Amino acid sequence: MGTVAISQNGFQGAQQGAQIHTSGVDWAQLSDAEIMVRVREGDDSGFSLLIEKYRKQIVHFMFRMSRNQAVAEELAQEVFLRVYRSRQTYRAEAKFSTWLYRIATNLGVNHARDTKYERTAQNVYLDQPDPETGTSPDVADSTLSVEQELVRDERMQAIRKHVMALPERQRSAVLMHKYQEMDYKEIGQILKLSESATKSLLFRAYQTLRENLKDFA
């Protein structure tokens, strides 16, 4: 059996010189859950496929939570290390992506709590272009006048401030709902809430945001 290595410059599944398909499995025919079950049972060959599939998503998610690219890369690396170390606890009844994002969310929330005082003097830019895709949830209109640009920038800054000021669970739910486009059921599974409780959580979060941003309506 090989070992899994995650390098500082990225993520690699290393089977001590072996190729990824040496186990003779047609990985393309397996679901994420089936691949993870094989990893749990001792076949590390497919783990790098999961890393390759989800790495950008997890880096993006951690960047939304930390607003620091280097930190996001480190946190994403830690997420996959924790996934691998916890492989024996994985149960196929759980969607792999749900299990993965639960680990990522817990790590992100803990990081945010631990660095709360370090971040008080920093600007948080939720609507800044993503460092990997170059896209932003709020795309600027190049035809805006100077005055319109100022209003837009002020509104975006307010959104950033108030989203990050939400309670931890509400903030995580909003990030997953708005930026990862997850549905209520999957967010609930990650946060260990019922679907109705998740809807209520997001309703309260968006209600707070609407109230705090009413001057920009």
Q: How far apart are CA 205 and CA 161, in angstroms?
A: 13
Q: How far apart are CA 178 and CA 16, in angstroms?
A: 40
Count CB neighbours of 132 within 10 A: 14
For 15, 31, 57, 63, 145, the CA distances from 37, given in Å and listed in that order, are 18, 10, 21, 29, 55
Q: How far apart are CA 157 and CA 27, in angstroms?
A: 44
42 phi and psi, to 5 degrees? 115, -5
State the pLDDT at residue 50: 94
Q: Is the pLDDT of residue 175 over 60?
A: yes
Count CB neighbours of 63 within 10 A: 22
For 63, 74, 99, 114, the CA distances from 111, given in Å and listed in that order, are 12, 11, 18, 5
18 phi and psi, to 5 degrees? -85, 160
Q: How far apart are CA 1 and CA 15, in angstroms?
A: 8
Q: What percent of the chain has pLDDT over 90?
A: 32
State the pLDDT at residue 203: 94
At 61-101, the pLDDT tens digits run 888 888 788 999 999 999 999 999 999 999 888 789 989 99
Query: Looking at residues 148-175, what average pLDDT do you find?
Result: 77
Selected from 3.60.10.10, 1.10.10.10, 3.90.1150.50, 3.30.1280.10, the CATH number assigned to the domain covering 124-217 reads 1.10.10.10
Q: Which of 181, 160, 174 is nearest to 205 (CA)?
A: 174
Query: Looking at residues 19-40, what average pLDDT do you find?
Result: 79
| Amino acid found at 98 | T
CA dihedral 74, 167, 171, 73 (to 10 degrees): 0
State the pLDDT at residue 51: 95
Q: Is the pLDDT of residue 117 over 70?
A: no
Q: How far apart are CA 106 and CA 113, in angstroms?
A: 11
Judged by average pLDDT, the poorest of 74-78, 80-84, 173-177, 211-215 is 211-215
At 120-156, the pLDDT tens digits run 334 444 444 444 444 444 434 445 566 666 666 666 7
Topology adopted by domain 1-122: Rna Polymerase Sigma Factor; Chain: A (1.10.1740)
For the chain, what is the total number of helices (H) and then of strands (E)?
8, 0
Q: Is the pLDDT of residue 179 over 80?
A: no
| Conformation bin of residue 76: beta by default, left when phi > 0, alpha when psi is -120 to 50 | alpha
Query: Looking at residues 104-110, what average pLDDT do you find?
Result: 87
Q: Is 16 helix (H, G, I), strand (E, B) or coil?
A: coil
- Boundaries of every domain in the chain: 1-122, 124-217
